[in-house]
Amino acid sequence: MDTLLLMVVCGGGYLIAYHTYGRFLAKKIFKLNKDAPVPSVELQDGIDYVPTRKGIIFGHHYTSIAGTGPIVGPAIGIIWGWLPAILWVTLGCIFMGAVHDFGALVVSMRNEGKSISEVAAKYINSRVRFVFFAVVFLSLLIVIAIFGVVIAAVFTRFPESVLPVWLEIPIAIALGWAVYKRSANVTLSTIVAVVTMYVTVGLGAYIESVRPGLFSLPEFSWLPATGLWTIILLIYAWIASTLPVTTLLQPRDYINAWQLFIAMALLVCGIVAASLAGNLPLAAPAINISLPADTPPIWPFMFVVIACGAISGFHSLVASGTSPKQVAKEPDSLFVGYGSMLLEGTLAVLVIICVAAGIAMAYETGDGQILSGFDAWQHHYSSWAGAKGLEAKLASFVTGAANIINTLHMPKIVGTAIMGVFVASFAGTTLDTSVRIQRYVVSELAGDLRIPFLTNRWAATSFAVLTAAALAFATGADGTGAMKLWPLFGTANQLLAALALLVITLYLRRRGGLKFVVTAVPCVIMLVITNWAMVKNEMIFLGEKNWLLVTIGAGIFALALWMTVEALMAFGKLKA
């Protein structure tokens, strides 16, 4: 019953927060106006700027910010215990993450849907545009370069997901055509698209069961499967990111949102059924005092490891990238910005339950032994290196989720297929959304620097994809080059959140009064935690004599310090 109570309290807290703190932010802080001009209408071009129904843009925005983040972060962070993970996910999400996302969306909408780096130039000074651009470009470069490997790992671990993930593309194109070209009923079209998608999930599971390995890519002596997947996925991302947003990106994300709603509903029902039957106790310790020897300290690293679900700088890129160009009127931004982050927090809570309790129902070790209870949890989290490995993160969630869904008398192979496709689809969403946002960032900077060639969407997208490919293949044909920089991503991502909050704080300060306090407090907290983590990481990199990470990490730290000083100077001038 403890598990059920945990889910109800956290879910109820998010619901209350939306109708109290969220509405307070909308009415008193940002003063949303349904008659205010918005970029999707004022700059409508049918490609990027498209006014969109609130429900559809919510689905697109939610799946864009989520990706696999709220799965992998909590699946690692629980190594310090379920209680600190839950507290950070709930309180951090309500008072920091959702405020960050909502604020970035509103500020971007009131500045022609421009990126947070362009907005920073307006509210601080033109110099910080290049500082922000450097941090944003590096963060997106790592994400794009590495997610080919991430998706390749998902396809390898769950081969039944390959067919439905690729068939989701024509389903999404058909949905977009039906809704926007034929004015079809949205509800009916959604039902048809989602049912068809789940038919492909069943088909993928069936084919894999009768013809195992059919969807595995061949290995070449000069090009491993991961490298080939990376090339294929980058080509797909280039195509998806240059098409009009309503052709593929938006309808695909919308379908993925419904996929998530169904997966979450199955998990909620499974948690209720298992808890009432007394089969779902929390096996993970509330606070883990017996940490593996190689585990870093909870302060400050848990707040960097668990990003999505609490607060993530990547969200500010989406909230000032694709979404503000599609929100049809200002009041919709409360549901899209604040509401989607609370839903991501809900997903993070369910992930924590899956890895804290679900994994303990039945866990198969590498030698075929079946463990349960605390023994199962402890085996999986016996070392920091094992817990933070990509395959381990995905396996712990999918195993726990499949166990929970199995209490609804659904075959475990079906539950595993549903969760595998869910993870792979969200990883793909992160990839193509990141490429599109990188295109916006490159185009905006090219416009400022008067480089007309790179303002073209095909040229800017090519630049984004080719630079990511160069990083991915920098260390060999396996496409894992971005792994060299991956240890920097966590702190860079959270630093981006702090800097975005800094920009929003300056925006609110210019509007007068003490409105800026709601973002200034989270901003200070994130600046302290992130810079603390960056210094600790630099010490680790120095000890390992990893001069590449030492150099780049020091550069990011210096840029962040520079922008913070510039922002404080701007804040002081406003006060004067």
Q: What was the pLDDT predicted at 229?
A: 84
Helix or strand (DSSP H, E) at 363:
strand 363-364
Tell me the whole-structure pTM to 2 decimals.
0.91
Residue 73's φ and ψ, nearest 5 degrees, are -60, -60
Q: What was the pLDDT predicted at 576?
A: 47
DSSP 58-71: HHHHHHHHHTTHHH
Stated length of the chain: 576
DSSP count for the chain of H helices, then E strands = 25, 2
Which DSSP symbol is given to 371? E
Give SS3 for 364: strand
Q: How far apart are CA 551 and CA 571, in angstroms?
A: 30
Q: How far apart are CA 488 and CA 477, in angstroms?
A: 22
Give SS3 for 457: helix
Q: What was the pLDDT predicted at 223?
A: 81
The domain locations on the chain are 2-115+135-211+230-480
Tens of pLDDT along the chain (576 residues) come to 588 999 999 999 999 999 999 999 999 999 999 999 999 999 999 889 999 999 999 988 998 888 778 888 898 899 999 999 999 999 999 999 999 999 999 999 999 999 888 888 888 888 888 888 888 888 889 888 887 777 877 777 778 888 898 999 999 999 999 998 888 999 999 999 999 999 998 888 888 888 887 777 776 667 888 888 888 889 999 999 899 989 998 899 899 889 888 888 989 999 999 888 888 888 899 999 888 888 899 999 999 999 989 999 999 999 998 899 999 999 999 999 999 999 999 999 999 999 888 888 877 776 777 877 888 888 888 877 655 555 566 677 877 888 888 888 877 777 777 777 877 787 788 888 899 999 988 998 888 888 888 888 899 999 999 999 999 898 888 888 888 888 888 888 998 999 899 999 999 998 888 899 999 999 999 999 999 999 999 999 999 888 989 999 898 888 888 888 888 888 777 654
Residue 133's φ and ψ, nearest 5 degrees, are -60, -45
CB atoms within 10 A of CB 364: 12
Amino acid at 462: S
Q: How far apart are CA 219 and CA 231, in angstroms?
A: 14
| Token pair of 497 as six digits | 């959140």
Q: How far apart are CA 494 and CA 500, in angstroms?
A: 10
Adjacent-strand bridge partners of 327: 52
Q: How far apart are CA 64 and CA 556, in angstroms?
A: 25
Closest among 215, 199, 224 to 161, alpha carbons compared: 215
Helix or strand (DSSP H, E) at 136:
helix 127-157
